[in-house]
Amino acid sequence: MSKFFVQFTDYAEGGMRGLAEGRKQEIKSAAKSALGSDPYGGGSAAVRGDRDRREITLVNAILSYDVSPAVVVVSVVRVSAPFG
């Protein structure tokens, strides 16, 4: 069960616009599973020393996201899936 709610910003959704629907769902499912349970783990890395601003590679897509621990939310702000 996820302890963090995972949401995708409009900008992140725009980054997936050209992808097939199945590929979008694959990325979203992986994000909800990995980030929802442990947004600080799973091979993610802090960006510029900010513990709550992170990047991770999941299912051949690079996700940039912000963790808001006080409200238990992970906001995916950018998705780059160069391999479709």
pLDDT in tens, 59-80: 999 999 999 999 999 999 999 9
Q: What is the pLDDT of residue 77?
A: 96
Domains and CATH numbers, the chain: 5-80 (3.30.2310.20)
Name the pLDDT band for 84 (thresholds 50, 70, 90).
low
Q: What is the pLDDT of residue 23?
A: 96
Q: What is the pLDDT of residue 83?
A: 65
CA 59 → CA 27, 62, 68, 69, distances in Å?
7, 8, 23, 25
Asked if pLDDT for residue 1 goes beyond 90, the answer is no
Does residue 76 contact residue 64 with C-beta atoms inside 8 Å?
yes
pLDDT in tens, 10-54: 999 999 999 999 999 999 999 999 999 999 999 999 999 999 999
Does residue 80 contact residue 15 with C-beta atoms inside 8 Å?
yes
CA 79 → CA 1, 17, 42, 51, 71, distances in Å?
24, 10, 17, 19, 22
